[in-house]
Amino acid sequence: GAGVSQTPSNKVTEKGKYVELRCDPISGHTALYWYRQSLGQGPEFLIYFQGTGAADDSGLPNDRFFAVRPEGSVSTLKIQRTERGDSAVYLCASSLGSPGATNEKLFFGSGTQLSVL
Amino acid sequence: QKEVEQNSGPLSVPEGAIASLNCTYSDRGSQSFFWYRQYSGKSPELIMSIYSNGDKEDGRFTAQLNKASQYVSLLIRDSQPSDSATYLCAVNRRNTDKLIFGTGTRLQVFP
């Protein structure tokens, strides 16, 4: 596709439920990032994939959060037993390579607004 | 201490003025620095990157980096109302691939 696609754009769920958020990166981009952004805050790093593997998952807040990228393209962020504090915009971004090493631009999707009631 | 700090603003400047946005970072090993613009309800978009000390100019935008002071800034010349947005500073530490963002500075340019 032309840009990073995230679905759904909005997700409302109840406390304790399980949710999956999907990210379809720009074709050919090997690097994929998940960030979380709360109102009035900057994006908070969650996890980074290079290809199929999670190269850095140090930002995942706890074991309720998990992400996969089985074929090196589409990624799914999974949240178990959702809590009200999980409510935020979940942003996905992709780049051809590492933004630090190669001056590669990070392209963000429009995000998924998650609301946990 | 946050790893990347910005004044949340709002910073209000008149149209045509220079807007100066500032950012400090705590990790002296940081190597790459970025400014993103985020309009309300939209996703961030990259406007400038800088890697070495000094100034880097791109159109109306100038990024300035001082690694000794752990300080990076963004100047916007001839500010326009369309520049009104939140400006996010992001830092990439050496040997990592993740960008750490500040909380952003909200800029308001009034006619």
Of chain A, the percentage scoring pLDDT greater than 90 comes to: 78
Q: A17 with A67: CB under 8 angstroms?
A: no
Chain mean pLDDT for chain B: 93
The yes-or-no verdict on residue A103 having pLDDT over 70 is no
Give the nearest partner residue to A56 out of B49, B90, B96, using CB atoms.
B96
Chain B residues with beta carbon closer than 8 angstroms to that of A98: 97
For chain B, how long is the longest CA-to-CA vector?
44
pLDDT score of B86? 96
Give the nearest partner residue to A100 out of B8, B31, B43, using CB atoms.
B31
Q: State the burial class of residue A69 (Cβ atoms within 10 Å of its Cβ: 0-12, 13-18, 19+).
A: buried
Beta bridge partners of A28: none
In this prediction, residue A2 has a pLDDT band, given cuts at 50, 70 and 90, of: confident
CB proximity B58 to A under 8 Å: no
Instruction: Find the helix or strand (DSSP H, E) in which B32 lies.
Output: strand B30-38
**What single string gives the DSSP state of each residue in chain A?**
--S-EEE-SEEEE-TT--EEEEEE--TT--EEEEEEE-TTS--EEEEEEETTEEEE-TT--STTEEEE-TTSS-EEEEE-S--GGG-EEEEEEEESS-HHHH-PPPEE---EEEEE-
Please count the residue pairs, one from chain A and one from chain B, whose beta carbons lie less than 8 angstroms apart: 64
Please tell me what DSSP assigns to residue B69: T
Nearest-by-CA chain A residue for B5: A42
Cβ distance B4 to A42 less than 8 Å, yes or no, reads yes
The yes-or-no verdict on residue A98 having pLDDT over 80 is no
Least confident range of A11-25, A28-42, A94-108, B15-29: A94-108
pLDDT score of A106? 86
Per-residue pLDDT reduced to its tens digit, A12-63: 999 999 999 999 999 989 999 999 999 989 999 999 998 888 889 999 999 9
In this prediction, residue A99 has a pLDDT band, given cuts at 50, 70 and 90, of: low
What's the Cα-to-Cα distance from A79 to each of A17, A18, A42, A88, rounded to whole Å? 8, 6, 21, 12
Tokens of A12: 């409302």
Beta bridge partners of B64: B55, B73
Per-residue pLDDT reduced to its tens digit, B45-99: 999 999 999 999 999 999 999 999 999 999 999 999 999 999 999 998 777 778 8
CB proximity B8 to A under 8 Å: yes
Distance CA A14, CA A19 (A): 10
pLDDT score of A54? 87
pLDDT score of B33? 93
| B 67-96: CB under 8 A from A | 88, 90, 92-94, 96
Q: In the predicted model, what is the mean pLDDT of residues A55-81?
A: 95
Q: In the predicted model, what is the mean pLDDT of residues A95-115?
A: 79
Q: B89 with B34: CB under 8 angstroms?
A: yes
The yes-or-no verdict on residue A1 having pLDDT over 60 is no
pLDDT score of A12? 98
